Structure 1
Amino acid sequence: MKKNLRKWSALALCLMLIMLVMAGCGGGKETETSKESEGKIGSDYEITVICMALNSDYWHMVEAGAKLAGEELGISVDVIGPNAESDSAAQINMVEDACNSGSDAIVLAPNEPTSLVSAAKTVKSNDIPLVVIDAMLDTDDESLYSCFIGTGNEEAGAEGGKFIASQLQEGDKVAIIRGLNGQVHHDQRTDGAQAAMEEAGLKVVSVQPADSDRGKAVNVAENMLQSDGDIKAFYATNDDMALGALQAVKSLGLTDVVIVGFDGTFNAMDSIEDGELTASIAQQPIEEGYQGVVNAVNILNGETVEKHQTLEAVVLTKENVTDFRVNVEDLIEKSGVKLN
């Protein structure tokens, strides 16, 4: 009797998955990574989600999405990450530990796309499906991962650049504060914004890294402003750095400086609602974490998934931030994840 119930439960789970995620799934073709041959059913799956870090609201939103998917699908989801996005060594160790601990699939947001290629090879050698989210691995070997889910960073950066151009006059000076040198997603966010601003006739006078750290961004922005007091806007490739730039602007007693961040974190939304931070290019981190887990389960069930899945970004301003926030808060509450 129990055996029959397990069969019916597995069938019900498969039907639910098909209804939830029609997009990006193939026709149920068996793949080499399917765990069915090992005797596991959906409710037995253990998925490890490894974020770039767990030190910001953004990554806790990814965590929330992953846990929502786990709850809906009735599977075990463990979300972990280093203390800082710059700690690729810790992230590599986490990937190796996940392989050794028996994870059925790994969802990874690589914090250093070149260094984490070796970790991806370890995952492949253990015949474990790897779903990459948020940032691509720096490799041409697509066999290392089953699919990628994330924002088109260059296109989203361009939206930030266009928004800044809409707030300024042709010839105005702008500066860019970016994440760690060598992180591809920060390269793309920078390139997209810079190209859009220059095309609109703005002058990008400085591009400096602050390693996604608010404190470093305060110092970088202060140095930029002391070198050139005519800077009219800052674009930062994450919200923590944008808030650092805001702190620097306020400490110097400046007004009317446009400051745009990237990610759509709660701290950024607070600041936008208060009329301080001008805007943030909001990704969909909850959806990213959710789809990462859903796609991992689809792969384990022997289904074919779309290789590259792009999530759209939204320019958050004082006009639309409240409605956006209400939706995000509802999902966070359902997940039970606590923000910083």
Structure 2
Amino acid sequence: MKRYCNHPAAYALIFFSAVLLIGCSKGTDQGNAPGSPQDPDATDKPRVALIMKSLANEFFATMAEGAKEHEREHADQYSLVVNGIKDERDLSRQVALVEEMVASGVSAIVIAPADSKALVPALRRAQKAGVVVINIDNRLDAEILEQESVSIPFVGPDNLAGAKKVGDYLAKNRTGDKVLILEGIRTSFNAQQRLKGFQAAMEEAGMEILDSQSAEWEMSKANTIASSMLSEHPEATAILAANDSMALGAIAAVKNAGRTGEVQIVGFDNITAIQQAIREGKVLATADQHGDQLAVYGIEAALQQIADQEKGEDQETPVDLIHKENLDQ
């Protein structure tokens, strides 16, 4: 025989419990739903992806730290996602990073492309998906941009002018007239521009370029190539390296050749190791494109474009000559 509870207090308890359950259910579905107005963690901040080249290169590690510091100082304005590739030549991975960031729903991509041509189609697709794209450090190829019918603002330094400053300083302080050049990746616009800057300075000074080869931005490769060039051209009195990593390789090559103090070396980037080499007289000069701020310039341009909902414009950023006399100023 079944027994039913008819006590008024029991009915009251059941009714009160039901009210609580309904109230909790409503709170879960609406009040605490991610992104709802009542959610204290909800945010409509834009997400900006920074995609760089090799983080093994101190220049890009410095760039990343500068960007992270900027994010900490402007945490209420945007959030940052930092990416880099292991190798300067790993173009497929950088393309994949662009696609991954678009798929993740970022608002903007700020990119230092490993190649001036190969990244353009992926970036065009990113723009088509509604992502703001800002090009920093290495300018994308103008012809390919036109072919792809895409306009991407460049925020960065005049690499030709920076290299010309370095080459001019070498010419004014030279110990000889015969030089060697270590180039960056030849399909990169900044490598092309730095080479032109070096060549222009040497031509104006009447200095002879004995050899010019690409070490693809890499220190170890620069060491090998510089060693070979010094062996083939013992009359060389200077090496112009298109970045500081290659300048470090040149320092080792000069030392191994027993020519420290005889062969002058210049670089480009002003990384910490080169600053010390300048103090020690192993490197004559370098160019500072303010790597700690370069990504910041791009991020600020991206945020401005998001706010204005209009296409951004190119912005030239500083590049300064660094040598022993002004290094610690």
Structures share fold, TM-score greater than 0.5 = yes
Shift in Å, 1:146: 4.5
Q: Report which of the two structures shows the higher radius of gyration computed on alpha carbons.
A: 2
Q: Please give the TM-score of this superposition, normalised by the length of structure 2.
A: 0.82
Alpha carbons 1:173, 1:232 under 8 Å: kept: yes
Shift in Å, 1:317: 1.2
Corresponding residue to 2:289 among 283, 292, 298: 283
Cα distance in 2, alignment partners of residues 50 and 130 from structure 1: 11
Shift in Å, 1:256: 2.5
- Please name the residue that 1:148 is paired with: 154
Cα distance in 1, alignment partners of residues 199 and 93 from structure 2: 32
Indicate the RMSD between aligned Cα atoms, in angstroms. Answer: 1.9
Cα distance in 1, alignment partners of residues 241 and 307 from structure 2: 40
Corresponding residue to 2:134 among 126, 131, 135: 131
Deviations 1:252-290 (A, max 9, x none): 111231100011111111211222122111111122111
Corresponding residue to 2:105 among 94, 102, 107: 102
Cα distance in 1, alignment partners of residues 248 and 70 from structure 2: 31
Q: Please give the TM-score of this superposition, normalised by the length of structure 1.
A: 0.79
Cα distance in 1, alignment partners of residues 98 and 142 from structure 2: 17
Corresponding residue to 1:175 among 160, 163, 180: 180
Cα distance in 1, alignment partners of residues 279 and 97 from structure 2: 37
- Please name the residue that 1:234 is paired with: 239
Structure 1, unaligned runs of 5 or more: 1-5, 7-38, 324-340
Corresponding residue to 1:243 among 241, 248, 253: 248
Deviations 1:266-325 (A, max 9, x none): 1111211222122111111122111111111111112657511111211111122223xx
Look up the SS of the partner of 1:212 in the other structure: coil
1:115 is the counterpart of 2:118: yes
The count of residues paired between Structure 1 and Structure 2 equals 283
Alpha carbons 1:156, 1:192 under 8 Å: kept: yes
Alpha carbons 1:54, 1:83 under 8 Å: kept: yes
Cα distance in 2, alignment partners of residues 129 and 145 from structure 1: 11
Look up the SS of the partner of 1:224 in the other structure: helix
- Please name the residue that 2:208 is paired with: 203
How has the CA–CA distance of structure 1 residues 221 and 146 changed in structure 2, closer, same or farther, with 3 Å as cutoff?
closer
- Please name the residue that 1:70 is paired with: 71
The code of the aligned residue for 1:261 comes to G
Shift in Å, 1:145: 4.6
The code of the aligned residue for 2:92 comes to A
Query: What is the 5 A alignment of 1:155-166?
Result: 155-166=161-172
Spell out structure 1 runs of 4+ moving beyond 4 A.
303-306
Cα distance in 1, alignment partners of residues 269 and 151 from structure 2: 24
The code of the aligned residue for 1:134 comes to D
Cα distance in 2, alignment partners of residues 98 and 144 from structure 1: 19
- Please name the residue that 1:90 is paired with: 93
Structure number with greater CO (CA < 8 Å, separation at least 6) is: 1
1:261 is the counterpart of 2:267: yes
Percent identity, aligned pairs only?
31
The code of the aligned residue for 2:141 comes to D
Structure 2, unaligned runs of 5 or more: 1-36
Shift in Å, 1:199: 1.3
Deviations 1:142-184 (A, max 9, x none): 7635521111011111111101111126x71001001122111
